Amino acid sequence: MRSCLIQILVTVAVVFCLVWFVLPIGVSALATGALNASGFTGTDTKVEVSANPPFMLLTGRADTVHIRSTQSRMGDLHAAGVDVTLGGVELLSRTVATVTGTLDGVLITAPNGDPVTIDKVTLTGSATATTATATMTLAAAQALAVAQLKSGTGIVAKVALKGPNLVTVTAGGKSQAGRLTTSNGSLLLVPDGDTLPTVTLIAPGSGNPFRVTSVTIGLASVTLVGTIDIQNLLS
Report pLDDT digits (tens) over 196-212. 899 999 999 877 899 99
227: left (phi > 0), else alpha (psi -120 to 50), else beta?
A: beta
Query: 81 and 60 share a domain?
Result: yes
For residue 1, pLDDT over 60 is answered with no
Query: 84 and 170 share a domain?
Result: no
- The DSSP symbol for 95 reads B
For residue 15, pLDDT over 70 is answered with no
Query: 143 and 119 share a domain?
Result: no
Cα angle 34, 35, 40; round to 5: 140
Q: Where residue 18 falls among pLDDT bands split at 50, 70, 90?
A: very low
197: left (phi > 0), else alpha (psi -120 to 50), else beta?
A: beta
Judge whether 171 and 156 are in contact, CB under 8 Å: yes
The domain total for the chain is 2
Residue ranges making up the domain that contains 58: 2-132+228-234
Query: 118 and 10 share a domain?
Result: yes
Query: 151 and 120 share a domain?
Result: no
Query: 127 and 144 share a domain?
Result: no
For residue 171, pLDDT over 60 is answered with yes
Report pLDDT digits (tens) over 137-169. 999 999 999 999 999 889 899 999 999 999 999
Query: 108 and 143 share a domain?
Result: no
Query: 59 and 119 share a domain?
Result: yes
Report pLDDT digits (tens) over 177-186. 999 999 999 9
What's the whole-model pTM score? Answer: 0.83
